[in-house]
Amino acid sequence: MGMGDRFGHQGHAQLKAIIEAGKKGAGITPVWNKSNREHMIIGTQPQDVRKEADAVTKASGFTEPYFVDADHINLDTVDKFISSSDFFTIDVASYIGKRADDSKISEFIEKAKKYTGRIEVPGIKKPDKCTLDQLTVITENYLFAAQKAGEIYRKIEKAKGAGNFITEVSMDEVAKPQSPVDLFFILLMLGDEKVPVQTIAPKFSGRFNKGVDYVGDIDKFVIEFEEDILVIDHAVKLFGLPSELKISVHSGSDKFAIYPHIGSILRKHDKGVHLKTAGTTWLEEIIGLAEAGGEALGFAKAIYIQALEKTEELCAPYADVIDINASLLPSAEEVRSWNSRKFASSLRHDQSNRNYNPNMRQLVHVAYKLAAHEMGNFYRLLDEHKEVVSQCVFENMYERHIKRLFL
């Protein structure tokens, strides 16, 4: 379970949720993740995430495996993460659609064309079909990205040694989803590149907006997710990939509508999953401060009011993964009059509460950089109201995520 903790204050509450799940029979490996973009905005370093993870696991007496993820790294950013990370999410999204050398394209097509026609995957009742033309398009779209994944992997391997870290390949932050057929040939490409990929994050159908529920055809997602699971299982046997290879869901968090289906499919096929919960820990910090009232509530309100004024600037980097109806955002004047309960319930992801506002939630989700501008004050308030904030973080992870997926 990938656990974002942008400000590095909630590791203990997150780990408490993992430990509680273990008592109920769900074996979950915590993976603290933080991207280069988040480090740059907040002013932290990858070593800070390692320090937090080591400290909270030691303090809790946690003796199971845990990892620190170099989240969404590429050739330009990997170096600064190598010493402190033991999990690397190699993001090849920016390389998708770029063309490999013609000779390499021809070489791969020649090797892979034996799989054209009917692709028989055990468990998939209706065989997928792939023509030579389709294979050519897939190769032109993804071969260069797979080559870059290999290049980045080998750079990490040279520094850390084979078998000393977890390798994930991510291609989810793109406009067009990958089909199970696409995934089949992508895994063949990664096998050719000798990338021992242990988790892979495809782009699924539907919208995975930050911090809010899944938007799309749930029945279509269920079919696609199960086929992806079966394709991965088949590819492991065919292409010599690691037996523990599992699918990764970069959820943007809170995809409650599909969590029960994901859990059911995993149990049906006895498979694991890597779930990233993104930035909702930051949202729970703001909710906790709002519930604390007084100065802390004032701080939470100020963050939202500033975000209203800077909506365009804050949303631009996340344009593909947020969908805000600005006309449904409460005004600054309105929010100034709210009490703790009203503010917290508007932000908390409880769709049964009539106050819940997904537009407001998405805006605050991307507004964490505003708190970074007032770091000293923000950290002081988090420390002063540690108990209420930690409880919000724990309940969000355990009640809304872990229980829905694994219990």
Res 139: pLDDT = 98
In a domain, 383, yes or no: yes
End-to-end, the C-alpha distance of the chain in Å comes to 14
Q: How far apart are CA 388 and CA 175, in angstroms?
A: 38
Same domain, 230 and 97: yes
| Res 1 pLDDT > 70 | yes
Mean per-residue pLDDT over the chain, rounded:
96
pLDDT at 279 over 70: no
Angle at the Cα of 349 from the Cα atoms of 309 and 373, rounded to 5 degrees = 35
On whether both 246 and 379 belong to a single domain, the answer is no
Q: What is the distance between the alpha carbons of residues 390 and 76, in angstroms, rounded to a whole number? A: 35
User: CATH no. for residue 168?
Assistant: 3.20.20.70
17: left (phi over 0), alpha (psi -120 to 50) or beta: alpha
Q: Give the least confident one: 113-117, 252-256, 325-329, 400-404.
A: 252-256
Co-location of 209 and 260 in the same domain: yes
Instruction: Establish if 393 belongs to a structural domain.
Output: yes
pLDDT per position as a tens digit, 299-351: 999 999 999 999 999 999 888 889 999 999 999 999 999 999 999 999 999 99
Q: Mark which of 246, 280, 314 sits at the end of a domain.
A: 280
**Per the structure block, which two tokens stand in for 296?**
């802390």
Residue 198 DSSP code: S
Which segments of 121-214 are extended strands (E)?
128-130, 166-170, 199-201
- Quick one: pLDDT at residue 253? 82
Q: Which residues of 37-65 are buried (b: 16+ CB within 10 A; e: fewer)?
A: ebbebbebebebbbebbeebbeeeebeee
SS3 296: helix
How many structural domains comprise the chain? 2
pLDDT at 251 over 90: no
- By the 8 A CB rule, do 265 and 229 touch? yes
Q: Give residue 216's domain range.
A: 2-280
Same domain as 163, residue 55: yes
Looking at the domain assignment, is residue 308 inside a domain? yes
Write out pLDDT tens, residues 31-82. Answer: 999 999 999 999 999 999 999 999 999 999 999 999 999 999 999 999 999 9
What separation in angstroms does the CA of 74 have from each of 94, 149, 151, 168, 252?
9, 8, 10, 12, 20
Backbone angles phi, psi at 343, to 5 degrees: -65, -50
User: Could you give phi then psi for residue 25, rounded to 5 degrees?
Assistant: 100, 5
Q: Report percent pLDDT > 90 for the chain.
A: 94
Mean predicted confidence (pLDDT) in 85-101: 97
Distance CA 41, CA 32 (A): 18
Provide the residue type at 29 as one letter: T
Binned at pLDDT 50, 70 and 90, residue 250 comes out as confident
* Separation between Cα atoms, residue 250 and residue 178, nearest integer Å: 14
Residue 26 resides in a domain: yes
- Do 210 and 298 have their domain in common? no
Q: What is the model's pLDDT at position 277?
A: 79
Last residue of a domain, one of 230, 248, 280: 280
pLDDT, one tens digit per residue, over 357-390 is 999 999 999 999 999 999 999 999 999 999 999 9
Query: 67 with 207, same domain?
Result: yes
56 and 178 together in one domain: yes
Q: What is the mean pLDDT of residues 159-177?
A: 94
Q: Per-residue pLDDT averaged across 160-181, rounded? A: 94
> Per the domain annotation, does 42 fall within a domain?
yes
306-309 long-range contacts, CB within 8 A, separation 24+: 306/367, 306/370, 307/363, 307/364, 307/366, 307/367, 307/370, 308/332, 308/363
64: phi > 0 → left, psi -120 to 50 → alpha, else beta; which?
A: beta
Domain end residue (candidates: 239, 263, 280): 280
Whether residue 407 lies inside any domain: the answer is: no
pLDDT of 278 strictly over 70: no
Indicate the pTM of the whole model.
0.95
Nearest in space to 357 (alpha carbons), one of 344, 366, 367, 347:
347
Same domain? For 252 and 391 the reply is no
Q: How confident is the model at residue 98 (pLDDT cuts 50, 70, 90)?
A: very high
